[in-house]
Structure 1
Amino acid sequence: MKFENRKTSERPEIEFTADVRARELRFDKGPDPEVRFSGEPEPRSDWRTERENLPSRVQEKVVYRNARVRLLIAGEATGPDP
């Protein structure tokens, strides 16, 4: 994951990846995902998901089979260098 104003060879200072697979997955209530970073000054961050066998908006009470979600989160401290 790259920030718009970074050099292509540079990577974010913080990266987090989670990969979840399920044979069957059902949502009683549709999710409302949110990723927040805090700090002074405002940190630069980005996140995205990659899905398999899941629509971009899941439906409540529907069973999805062989589902996969991969979450990628990247952040960068924006304060002065020590």
Structure 2
Amino acid sequence: MAGEHPDGEVAASAAILFRATIKADELRFDVVPDSSVVFTGDADARSSSGSVREGVPDEAVPRTTYRGVRIDYAIAAKLAPPGTTARRDG
């Protein structure tokens, strides 16, 4: 899921925070994957995921070579407060 990182408050108070950075001289997709993040269980509606990209657009194009790529990706999952309905999609 492309977009922006989870905001600072969400990331700072997340029950689970996953961050990853990839760097590549070249990146090419023969087929662009369809990916998504789904928050289930007791996830709060403020749970979020996103990436900040350099050298590759949010919507990659099949059979296109991108150079000088960096992708910073984060998933921040917050727990729903007790007695509230948890988020079921993401």
The TM-score range, normalised by the shorter chain, is 0.7 to 0.9
Is the contact between residue 2 and residue 11 of structure 1 (CA under 8 Å) also seen in structure 2?
Answer: no
Q: Any stretches of 5+ residues in structure 1 without a counterpart? A: none
Q: How big is the shift at 1:68?
A: 1.0
Work out which of the two has the higher radius of gyration on C-alpha atoms and give 1 or 2: 1
- Describe the superposition over 1:20-61 as per-residue Cα deviations: whole angstroms up to 9, x where unpaired: 111110001112220112214xx1210111000111211101
Q: Which residue of 1 aligns with 2:55?
A: 53
Structure with higher helix content:
2
TM-score after normalising by structure 2: 0.70
Identity %: 32
Q: Any stretches of 5+ residues in structure 2 without a counterpart? A: 1-5, 83-90
Q: Hey, which bits of structure 1, 4+ residues long, moved more than 3 A?
A: none
Structure with higher strand content:
1
RMSD value, Cα: 2.2
